[in-house]
Each structure stands twice: as structure tokens, then as C-alpha cells.
Amino acid sequence: MKLQLFTYLVVFSSTMSANSKLTTMDIQAANRLAQMPLGCVEVEYPNKLNQVIGSNDDLKSPKDLHPAFYGCFDWHSSVHGHWSMVSLLKNFPDVAGNETMKAILKKNISKENIANEVEHFHGQHNKSWERTYGWAWLLKLAEELHSWNDPLARELETNLQPLTELISQRFVEFLPKLYYPIRVGEHTNTAFGMSFAYDYAVTLEDESLKSMIEQRAKDFYLTDKDCPITWEPSGFDFLSPCLQEVDIMRKILSKNQFDKWIQKFLPQLKKKKFSIAPGIVSDRTDGKLVHLDGVNFSRAWVLYALGNQYQDYKHLTSLADTHVSKSLPYVVGDSYEGGHWLGSFAIYALNSSTQSPKDNE
């Protein structure tokens, strides 16, 4: 297995060397990246449960606790591993391993398994569990299923619905209580959680969630100015605090409102020569240090989206390409510390390179 993955990495790296602009998703990239969710969603150990033990009843195996999302080292990575498979199948029906992915999705996202996941969220000690990173990816999975025109997607979307509705409700209940936004470059980043949840709310027409996010994003960020992007990244970041804030405000503000806001918050983005160096990973076997591959992909998807939506920021797409190219050769076949989650970030970044968001009115 290790030899196969090493061979895969050599092929991926040589392709990148021959074509340094391999920054859009095509069938070749899809086939390579499909190896990542296939290589983790059914791998139960090692596993980081992140749970509070309330009694002996909580001392169960990952698969017993989370029969739908037990693989990929932790719950949220398993969720976005499933999102990866749905995204690849939706956009590339003939992707390598397609039948295996469909079988895994059908088995894991069953009505019974999701009922078990819902029960876990209702546990006495689990009210804030996976808040808000895992919540956001669960809604992203629901959104991807909704937009996939396939009978399997309808079955899975229906099965997932009780958990989807619970997570939407959790967001609506939590956001008014959050007095200050969380601005770190890791899981708890408020702008990231709201950004993915907002996509779901718009696509599924979840008006209560949509209006709540719009209001709280304005409360949190509308008066922000002079974001210190030169301080980024911190040592363990996989998100850019500045750019995640740009992303949610891009989505909720009109073009005129956004122009006025960003002129105070991050005006240098409009300059044609704006640049920021990609994150450098010194050790990809270190689960924290490899986060910096993630910051390269997550920066890229924000820059792509901004450049694709507004002509004023079109120049940022080349900077996004640079960030993707810095990390993409290493994600397939590298250590499990990054391999259990980075494929999703790579897929999302590559998808973003060709998507054209609609201008806000």
C-alpha cells in the first residue's frame, strides 16, 4: 500500500513539474484526489474522538459512537471526506473508484447511522461538540448532496436530513450568544463556519439561518479595519483569519457595500501587484505543521472566488494558483497526518478556480 501511494505521489509530482498551472479540476486530478477519501473514510484507527466522557457508556469504539463518520482520524475530517466523494462523483461520474465511493456513501449515510449521530449530538455533554467547524462541513455535505442530480443523492440527502436540520438549528441558537467572533486560523474560526453555513442556507433556502448569518457577520465584522495580513500565517494555521472574513463579507454584502468595506479592511487586495507568500511546511509528518498546506488551499479558494466574482480582483487568481501549486504535489500519498483531510481542501480549492459566483445585488 505504501509503495502504491509513493508511486502515485511521484506521478502527481512529475505531472505538476511538466505543467505548473495544474490548478483546475479535471478528470486526471479527480482520479488522483479520489485516493484520499477512499484511503481514510473506512479507516477507524488512529482516531481522535474529542469527547467528554460522561460515563462508561461513552467508552466505545469510534465506529460504535459514530457509525456514519468514524474514519479519517476525526469526525469532521470524515464528514468532509464524504463531501469529497460526493463532489467528485457529482462533477466526474466516471472518476476512478466511483462504484466503491457510491457503496461507501450508501452504507455510511444510512437512516439508521444518521439517527445514531443525531442521538450523540443530543447527549448531555455534546451541546457544543464540533462547533462550528464540523457543523459547517456537515452543512457543506448536505449542500453538495442537494446539488447532485442523482437518485443516490436524493436517498442520502433524505437520510442526512435529521442531522442537517439539527446543525442548522444549532447555528441559529449559537450565533446570537457569541458576543465576540473567534478569529484564529484553525477550527473555531467564526467566519469560516458562517461562510460554509451561508452557502448551505442560500442553496437550500434556509431563511432563518441565512438571515441570522447575515446579521451576525455584520455585527462581527462590518466595522473592522486594517486587518494585519502580514502577520499570517501563524504556525498551525490552516485558515487565513483575514481572508476568511473577506469571504463571508463578499457573500453577504452588495458590490458597493463590499467595495466600501474592503477599502478599510484590506485595501491592498485591489492592487495588481499584491502578493503574499504561501505557507511553508517543514514536516508533513507533524499533524500541526502540515496545517500550512491547508492554509495554502483555503487562501486559494477565497482568492479564486473573489477574482471570479469581481473583475477588480481578477489578478488574485494567479496568486491563488501559486498557493495551490505550492501544496498540491504533496497531498496524495503523503503521511496520514495531512492525508486524512487535505484532499478535501485541495478539491474545494480546485473547484473554486472555475466557479463564478453571482454578483450580489
CA distance 343 to 330: 10
The pTM of the full predicted model, rounded to 2 decimals, is 0.94
Q: Is 329 helix (H, G, I), strand (E, B) or coil?
A: helix
42-72 per-position pLDDT tens digit: 999 999 999 999 999 999 999 999 999 999 9
User: In the prediction, which pLDDT does 23 show?
Assistant: 76
CA distance 204 to 211: 13
Contacts of 57 (CB under 8 A, 6+ apart): none
User: In the prediction, which pLDDT does 10 show?
Assistant: 38
User: In the prediction, which pLDDT does 141 show?
Assistant: 99
Q: Which of 254, 257, 245, 133 is nearest to 197 (CA)?
A: 133
Return contacts of 231-234, CB within 8 angstroms, 24+ apart.
232/185, 232/276, 232/295, 233/185, 233/279, 233/292, 233/295, 234/184, 234/185
User: In the prediction, which pLDDT does 225 show?
Assistant: 98
Q: Could you tell me if 198 and 210 are in contact, meaning their C-beta atoms sit under 8 angstroms apart?
A: yes
User: In the prediction, which pLDDT does 24 show?
Assistant: 81
User: In the prediction, which pLDDT does 361 show?
Assistant: 57
Distance of alpha carbon 92 from the chain centroid? 19
Distance of alpha carbon 48 from the chain centroid? 19
DSSP 197: H
Q: Could you tell me if 216 and 178 are in contact, meaning their C-beta atoms sit under 8 angstroms apart?
A: yes
CA distance 143 to 140: 5
- Dig out the grid coordinates for 132 from the structure: 462550528
User: In the prediction, which pLDDT does 76 show?
Assistant: 98
User: In the prediction, which pLDDT does 58 show?
Assistant: 93
Q: Going from the first residue of the chain to its last (361 residues), give the mean pLDDT of each consecutive group of 10, the final group possibly shorter.
A: 35 41 83 97 97 94 98 98 98 98 98 98 96 98 98 98 98 98 98 98 98 98 98 98 98 98 98 97 96 98 97 97 96 91 98 81 57
